[in-house]
Structure 1
Amino acid sequence: MKDVSQNPVVIIPGVLFWDSLYDTMKEVLAGYISKERVVVAPVNLLDWIGFPPSPEKSTNGVMKAVDRAVRAMKRKFPDEPVTLVAHSGGGTVAMIYLLEKSFQGDVYRTGNQVGKLVTLGTPFHTHEYYAKIKTDFIFRHLQKDFFERCRVVSVVSDKYHGNHQGSFVEKMCYKFYQSVQEDGNVKGDGIVPAKSCFLEGAENVTIADAEHLPTPHTRWYGTKEGVEQWIQWL
């Protein structure tokens, strides 16, 4: 078995995904870390959509759920820094949470509660409207000294190549990649182009065989096969 950090872990779901979709990831991590040290932030679909629908405000609701989970972990393990594992757009929410700057009226003083953020298929560079609200905020406030208090590891798969003249799968990937960045003729995880996840100051890791969406019968980041490709950076 790989040598894995035993710090408590809070998993953050991706945009429009909910906590129970991450049960398998939690179970796999519990094979490396004791079960009580791994939780999924209690996020549901309504948190992402809002009521009435207000996706631009979803970050604030999700940050509240993340903060509750982090504080609960700190009560159980007061002397240990928490590791956040964030999937997809949950990674940009995690960055905003950790920046300690006011975002739409909310700011969290995380201090040294969180020692590491591992993102899985998180696009930090995007032209998608609602995602760009978050990434613009991040780059407006992100300073080099941030990485001195919190290590960031950005993991992404380059399993699928986008090609508008290729197979059906390649054409679909091309369209998905184009929704994130202008050039769809690149490699990525089927939804997010790999290079959109590269963040200066972070440790950028490309893995070979994982898919983005937490759907049945796929080898996504949260399956046993997916986790084993990035667990060493936990």
Structure 2
Amino acid sequence: MPLPTVILPGYFAGAAEYLELQQSLVGLGFPAVTVPVRRRDWLPTVGGRSIVPILRLLDRTVKQVLQQYNASQVNLIGHSAAGWISRIYLGEKPYIIHGDVMEDAGLWFAHPSVTTLVTLGTPQYSLYERWTRKNLDFVNNNYPGAFHPNVHYVCVAGKAIFGARRPGQLLAYNSYKLTCGTGNTWGDGITPVEAAHLEGAENLVIEGVMHSPRRVGLWYGSPEVLPAWVPYLK
């Protein structure tokens, strides 16, 4: 039987936006649960502050799923910023850089419980977005690349919009430039392809896929897109 799968929504997204993805995974035979994040749960994290409130929700959900399904491991899917938040969750280093929790908080060191981490449109680094630098530096300084050998990392990038300084492409241009330093490149409209991948991971590029479930058109969780990455789940 496939392992249960936990979905962590992207930044400022609520669990309801991932219901279709959750139901699609269940239909494919994967017991799936979305971390019950509400948009207001992200408010304490604004401005590059601690993401401990999200780690608490993620940890609680993973432990509940392990117990519910009598499983020793889960698949973990992180969309957008949830991908690098999941990398914090996997790691051994105490995430105490904001001074809001103690070293014994127990909101990390989860890699023994995660067999596969799938990141969807995750900016794995950001060169010029100052609000995320402190958190992302913590991730990449401590856990570079596909860091944990016991975890299968699958990093999925969408190739839908080429960034340019013209109507329809300007948002992508500005977002790509903040992230990787180059606006004239391909990505999902928010995350450039090159920033969505990790060294040593199973790195995928899917044509025509947009960043968010709120956008018109295909996104990573659309039923038509799932065959490109779901087979990598355990």
Range class of TM-score, shorter chain: 0.7 to 0.9
Q: Secondary structure at the match of 1:147?
A: coil
Unaligned ranges ≥5, structure 2: none
Unaligned ranges ≥5, structure 1: none
Deviates more, 1:208-217 or 1:62-71: 208-217
Give TM-score scaled by structure 2 length. Answer: 0.88
Amino acid at match of 1:117: L
Q: Secondary structure at the match of 1:184?
A: coil
Quote how far apart the aligned CAs of 1:144 are.
7.3
Distance 1:68 1:6, change over 3 A: same
Deviation digits for residues 16-42 of structure 1 (CA, Å, limit 9, x no counterpart): 1111110011111111125xx200001
Quote how far apart the aligned CAs of 1:142 are.
1.4
Contact in 2 for aligned 1:157/1:208 (Cα 8 Å): yes
Cα distance in structure 1, aligned partners of 2:132 and 2:215: 26
Q: Does 1:68 align with 2:60?
A: yes
Deviates more, 1:87-96 or 1:203-212: 203-212
Q: Does 1:88 align with 2:93?
A: no
Alignment match, 1:156:
157
- The structure with more helix, counted as a fraction of residues: 1
Cα distance in structure 1, aligned partners of 2:136 and 2:79: 15
Deviates more, 1:208-217 or 1:100-109: 100-109
Alignment match, 1:205:
204
Distance 1:145 1:49, change over 3 A: closer
Give TM-score scaled by structure 1 length. Answer: 0.88
Deviation digits for residues 24-76 of structure 1 (CA, Å, limit 9, x no counterpart): 11111111125xx20000111122112xx754345101011110110011102
Q: After the TM superposition, list the runs of 4 or more consecutive aligned residues in structure 1 that deviate by more than 6 angstroms.
A: none
C-alpha RMSD of the superposition:
2.0
Alignment match, 1:110:
110
Contact in 2 for aligned 1:157/1:210 (Cα 8 Å): yes
Quote how far apart the aligned CAs of 1:194 are.
0.6
Quote how far apart the aligned CAs of 1:80 are.
4.0
After TM superposition, list the pairs within 5 Å mapping 1:29-178 onto structure 2: 29-34=25-30, 37-50=31-44, 54-104=46-96, 105=101, 106=105, 107-126=107-126, 127-142=128-143, 146-164=147-165, 166=166, 168-178=167-177
Deviates more, 1:113-122 or 1:221-230: 221-230
Q: Secondary structure at the match of 2:116?
A: strand
